[in-house]
């Protein structure tokens, strides 16, 4: 779901790029289905602790580049997604009643939203995916970056876990084809370190469709790992 937004502020605090995401998602779910919001927050989904929700935003098309500042433009968007129909429906229903999203210190006025339903289903075999936000992975409490030891192992484990939640075959032959620069954000007082990536894998087309609405790596409900 792409939500088109505008804001009166010319820039956001870097702390507000990812920090508000979790609260925004659970706030929307709470408005439509409080029991679902509590269950997802406290227990995860389907007997697993993972939360099958992805979010990315806000992003502003054509925003001027300015060192040390996250600038805005009149063409903003926030993305929400879930491979679980019940969760996706709750987000859609809540957004349909909203006129704005409070994202940290910024108020984003909703101009409309689009539900992505016509994505071509990929065929069985090799697929490439690129993220729009950094992918967060950890090993023994340490944040990992592409090229470091255990990075592929932890990402494969993450994808296997997500496939188990969805009851789908796990992908095979994962490779990192490209990685962006290191990015660091503070979220609830703790650092989140990662990088955008382009990966290739052999995957069931149903899993590819699902993961596009969920994301790669950890903390997807916090806005990380969103797939373009």
Instruction: Answer yes or no: pTM beyond 0.85.
Output: yes
Q: Are residues 105 and 136 in the same domain?
A: no
The pairing of beta strand 106-114 with beta strand 190-194: unpaired
Q: Does the residue 20 lie in any domain?
A: yes
What is the domain range of residue 51? 2-114
* Boundary (domain end) residue, out of 114, 134, 157: 114
The enclosing H or E element of 75 equals: strand 75-81
Q: What is the 3-state secondary structure (H, E, C) of 90-156?
A: HHHHHHHCCCEEEECCEEEEEEEEECCCCCCCCCCEEEEEEECCCEECEECCEECCCCCCCHHHHHH
Confidence band for 15, pLDDT divided at 50, 70 and 90: confident
User: How many angstroms separate the CA atoms of 7 and 59, rounded?
Assistant: 11
Q: Are residues 109 and 132 in the same domain?
A: no
* pLDDT digits 0-9 by tens, 121-167: 555 678 999 999 999 999 998 999 999 999 999 999 999 999 999 99
**Structural domains in the chain (count):** 2
């Amino acid at each position: 779901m792409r939500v088109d937004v505008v804001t009166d502020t010319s820039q956001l605090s870097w702390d507000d790029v990812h920090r508000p995401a979790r609260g925004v998602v659970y706030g929307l779910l709470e408005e439509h289905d409080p029991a679902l919001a509590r269950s997802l927050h406290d227990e995860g989904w389907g007997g697993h602790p993972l939360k099958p929700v992805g979010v990315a935003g806000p992003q502003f098309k054509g925003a001027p580049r300015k060192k040390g500042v996250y600038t805005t433009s009149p063409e903003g968007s926030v993305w929400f997604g879930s491979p679980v129909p019940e969760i996706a429906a709750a987000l859609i229903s809540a957004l349909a009643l909203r006129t704005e999203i409070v994202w940290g210190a910024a108020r984003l006025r909703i101009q409309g939203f689009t539900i992505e339903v016509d994505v071509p289903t990929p065929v069985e075999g090799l697929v490439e995916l690129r993220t729009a936000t950094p992918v967060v992975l950890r090993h023994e409490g340490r944040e990992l970056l592409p090229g470091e030891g255990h990075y592929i192992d932890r990402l494969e484990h993450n994808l296997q876990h997500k496939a188990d939640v969805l009851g789908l075959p796990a992908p095979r032959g994962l490779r990192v084809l490209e990685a962006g620069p290191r990015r660091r954000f503070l979220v609830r007082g703790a650092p989140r370190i990662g990088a955008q990536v382009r990966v290739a894998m052999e995957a069931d087309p149903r899993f590819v469709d699902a993961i596009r609405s969920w994301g790669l790596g950890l903390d997807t409900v916090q806005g990380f790992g969103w797939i373009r």
